[in-house]
Amino acid sequence: MPIHTSSQMSRNSNLATSLRKEVFLEKDPVLADGFVPARETYLFFKRAFDILFSFLFIILVLSWVLPIISLLIIFDSKGPVFFIQRRVGKNGRLFQCLKFRTMIVNDEADERQAKENDQRITRVGKFLRKTNIDEFPQFLNVLIGDMSIIGPRPHMVSDCTRFSFVIPGYKFRALMRPGITGLAQVRGHHGPTLTYDSIFNRYHLDAQYIRNASFLLDLQITALTFLQSVRNIVFHSYLGIRSWR
């Protein structure tokens, strides 16, 4: 499925050219590294926050959510509880990203994005995706250092390759650890990225985060994510209860 059209590319060519000048060339590590916050204190506290927050979340939340979600997944469809996928991390390093499985086992999971009303998504998977509970195992990725609480969302390898051809300087977003949530997500960007605009808008917000990263911004994104998650869990739990009546 094409993710952009010639008309879209033409319409955004000036914007893309401007962006390329703005982020320099991602192949030049000296220029690119200049955009990464060079504040050792910030980076130290960011990692300390990641370790402390993820540890507490695993102990206080994941420890009892895991068995409940595991049983729901097992009773709902055949297959493993976890979906483990190679994702692109900091500086292009690949890592094994953890998620609760939300689809039936299929051969296209590593190549084709899920879309609205995707037949591969299970009944439990729909709820997990709507509430973002499927991302909870990624706190383990944070604890071991593959991810951060806040940062650009990690892409599967095939998507990262395609997006790099569409957006000049796309690898700029890999200068920091990928996050469970980020600026793009609290601004409403969720779901599949199938058009030029959806790819560009998310990249623009990811790049904006990297340029302006600070502990205060991280706390703001964390707070907004918490509020959005609580709202989604309550809302979709209510819809689920009504549907079972």
- For the stretch 60-73, pLDDT in tens is 999 999 999 999 99
Instruction: Tell me the pairing of strands 148-150 and 179-181.
Output: parallel
CA 240/CA 76 separation, integer angstroms? 15
* Residue 70, domain member (yes or no): yes
CA dihedral over 25, 29, 30, 36, signed as positive or negative: positive
Q: Is 0.85 surpassed by the pTM of this model? A: no
Residue 172: both structure tokens together: 């700029």
* Residue 217, domain member (yes or no): yes
Q: Give the chain's domain count.
A: 1
Confidence bin at 8 (pLDDT 50/70/90):
very low
Residue range of the domain that includes 100: 6-233
* Residue 92, domain member (yes or no): yes
* Residue 157, domain member (yes or no): yes
More confident residue, 239 or 6: 239
| pLDDT score recorded for residue 160 | 87
Name the helix (H) or strand (E) containing 57: helix 40-57
* Residue 219, domain member (yes or no): yes
User: Of 186, 160, 38, 157, nearest to 96 (Cα)?
Assistant: 157
* Residue 158, domain member (yes or no): yes
* Residue 152, domain member (yes or no): yes
* Residue 243, domain member (yes or no): no
Residue 97 is given by DSSP the state E
| pLDDT score recorded for residue 22 | 41
Task: Give yes or no for residue 233 having a pLDDT over 60.
Answer: yes
Q: Is 231 exposed, middle or buried (0-12, 13-18, 19+ CB in 10 A)?
A: exposed
